[in-house]
Amino acid sequence: MQKSKLLISLFCLMVLFALFVQADGSSGVVLELNTQNFETTIQSNPQKVFFIKFFAPWCGHCKRLAGTWSELAKELEDSSVPHFQNVQLAKVNCDEHPDIRRKYSIRGYPTLVLFVGGKPVTEYYGYRTVPKFKSFLDDVFSSAKSSGSVDQVTEVELESKIKNQNRAWTVMFYNSESAQTKQFDSNFQQLATNNKDTNNFFAKIDCNQEKELCTKRLTIDLTNGPQFVIFTGSDKMMSQFKEQPSVESLQKFITSGHVSSKVQIPGPVDNTPTILHFLNDHPYISIGVVTMFCIAICGIFLAILCMSDDSEKKGKTEPAENTENTQTNPANNFDVSSDEEGDKVVEATSNETAPSNLKKRNLSSNNE
C-alpha cells in the first residue's frame, strides 16, 4: 500500500515537472523597451531586426497576444533559418511611455512594427498567430528565389511582400466578374513560370474583394481589362504597365521597362476620423465623454417630461379661473362704486342735518 502511494506521488511530481519545463520552454526572450533604452537598443545593431509590440495593459487583444508573442520569440530563437535568428522581439507599454507612442504615431493596440537600422520598415496587419507571423517575416526578409507560381493575395499580404528588399513583385489587378480576366490569366501564369528561380515574383488581386486598394489607394482603372503593376522592394517604388499586355511585352517591362516610370507607393488609406484616434489613445476621456453625453440626454428627456406635465396642468386650471373672474368682477365693481357713493351720501346728509338738530335742542332748552 505504501509503495503504491509512493509511486503515485512520484508520478504526479514527474507530471508537474514536465508541465513546468514545457511552460518554461514555450517562451523566449522579449525585450521590454522604455523611454531610456528604446533608441539606443534599436540602433545598437544596424543589421538587427526588431519586431516591436506597442501595447496597453488594459487592452484585451494585447492580453491575448502576450502568450503568442512569447511563443513566437522562442520559435525564432530555436529556428535554423538565418533571417528568423536575426529577429528580436520586444514590447513597449504605451501607457507608461506616451512619448514613444506619439513619436511613432501609435493609434491603436496592439500595434506591431518592424524596425531595421533604427527605423520603422513596415507594420503587421494580419492574423496574430505564430504561423502568420513567420510567414510575414518570410515575405519581408527571405532571400529565396521565385517558385514560378502566382499567389492570390489580399492588401494586407501584399503590404508585407513588397517590403522585401530582395524581390520585385508583378501584380495583376483584375475584376473576377469580367470575361477579359480569363484571357490574361493563362498568359500571366506563363510569365511567372518563365521567371522561376529569379527575384521576380508574381501575384494577383481581385479588385471586387479589395476595392479600397484598387480604387482609392492605387486608382486602378479596369475598364480596359486587367492592369499590371510592378513593386520593387529595393527602393519601395511602383510602376504601372500602360501598353497592350502580352507575355513578351510584360517580360520586357519587368526586365528594364519599368525603371523610367517609377513612382512612390501610396500609403494605406486611413478612414478613421482624428477624433476617434484621440479617444482611442485616451480611454478615460472616452469614458468621461460617453458618461457626460448620457447625462445630457437624460437631462433633456426629463426637461421635456416636466414641460409636458406643466402644460397639461395649465390647460386644466385656466378655464376654471376665467369663470371665477367673470362671476366676481361685476359684483366687486358694484360694491366699490356703491361704497364710494354711500360714503358721499352719508357725508352730505350729516353735514346738512347738523344745524337743524342744534335748533331743536335750543328750543327744547328754552321751553324748559
pLDDT in tens, 304-356: 888 776 666 666 655 555 555 545 454 444 444 444 444 443 444 444 444 45
Residue spans in the chain of domains classed CATH 3.40.30.10: 31-143, 148-257
What pLDDT is stored for residue 197 in this prediction?
93
What pLDDT is stored for residue 317 in this prediction?
59
CATH of 31-143, one of 3.40.640.10, 3.40.30.10, 3.40.50.2300, 3.40.50.620: 3.40.30.10
What pLDDT is stored for residue 278 in this prediction?
52
What pLDDT is stored for residue 275 in this prediction?
56
Residue 110: is the preceding peptide bond cis (ω within 30°)?
Answer: yes
For the segment 110-128, the average pLDDT, to the nearest whole number, is 90
How confident is residue 91, by pLDDT bands cut at 50, 70 and 90? very high
How confident is residue 63, by pLDDT bands cut at 50, 70 and 90? very high
What pLDDT is stored for residue 80 in this prediction?
87
**Which candidate, 244, 245, 169, 152, places its Cα nearest to that of 207?**
152
Identify the active-site residue in 12, 62, 207, 306.
Answer: 62
What pLDDT is stored for residue 316 in this prediction?
60
Q: Which three cell numbers stand for residue 120?
A: 520603422
Contact 194, 205 (CB under 8 A): no
Higher local confidence (pLDDT), 258 or 183: 258
Higher local confidence (pLDDT), 133 or 275: 133
For the segment 49-72, the average pLDDT, to the nearest whole number, is 94
What pLDDT is stored for residue 368 in this prediction?
47
Q: Which three cell numbers stand for residue 96?
A: 507608461
How confident is residue 163, by pLDDT bands cut at 50, 70 and 90? confident
Contact 94, 56 (CB under 8 A): yes
Helix H, strand E, coil C: the string for the chain is CHHHHHHHHHHHHHHHHHHHHHHHHCCCCCEEECCCCHHHHHHCCCCCEEEEEEECCCCHHHHHHHHHHHHHHHHHHHCCCHHHHCEEEEEEECCCCHHHHHHCCCCCCCEEEEEECCEEEEEECCCCCHHHHHHHHHHHHCCCCCCCCEEECCHHHHHHHCCCCCCEEEEEEECCCCCHHHHHHHHHHHHHHHCCCCCEEEEEEECCCCHHHHHHHCCCCCCCCCEEEEEECCCCEEEECCCCCCHHHHHHHHHHHCHHHCEECCCCCCCCCHHHHHHHHCHHHHHHHHHHHHHHHHHHHHHHHHHHHHHHHHHHHHHHHHHHHHHHHHHHHHHHHHHHHHHHHHHHHHHHHHHHHHHHHHHHHHHC
Contacts of 37 (CB under 8 A, 6+ apart): none
What pLDDT is stored for residue 8 in this prediction?
52
235-250 pLDDT, tens digit per residue, is 889 999 998 889 999 9
Averaged confidence pLDDT in the chain = 79
What pLDDT is stored for residue 149 in this prediction?
93
**Which range among 2-11, 178-187, 197-206 has the greatest average pLDDT?**
197-206
Average the pLDDT over each of 22-36, 130-144, 190-204, 318-332 and give the range with the smallest value.
318-332
For the segment 135-146, the average pLDDT, to the nearest whole number, is 89
What pLDDT is stored for residue 346 in this prediction?
41
Identify the active-site residue in 12, 59, 94, 306.
Answer: 59
268-299 pLDDT, tens digit per residue, is 755 444 455 555 555 667 678 788 888 989 88
Distance from C-alpha of 141 to C-alpha of 137, rounded to nearest angstrom: 6
Please say if 62 is a catalytic residue.
yes
For the segment 225-234, the average pLDDT, to the nearest whole number, is 92
Contact 254, 230 (CB under 8 A): yes
Task: Flag whether pLDDT at 106 surpasses 90.
Answer: yes
**CATH number given to 148-257:** 3.40.30.10
For the segment 145-156, the average pLDDT, to the nearest whole number, is 92
What pLDDT is stored for residue 133 in this prediction?
94
What pLDDT is stored for residue 96 in this prediction?
95
Distance from C-alpha of 266 to C-alpha of 268, rounded to nearest angstrom: 7
pTM: 0.59
For the segment 43-56, the average pLDDT, to the nearest whole number, is 90
What pLDDT is stored for residue 144 in this prediction?
86
Burial 240-278 (b: 16+ CB within 10 A, else e): bbeeebeeeebbebbeebbeeeeeebeeeeeeeeeeeee
Higher local confidence (pLDDT), 35 or 361: 35
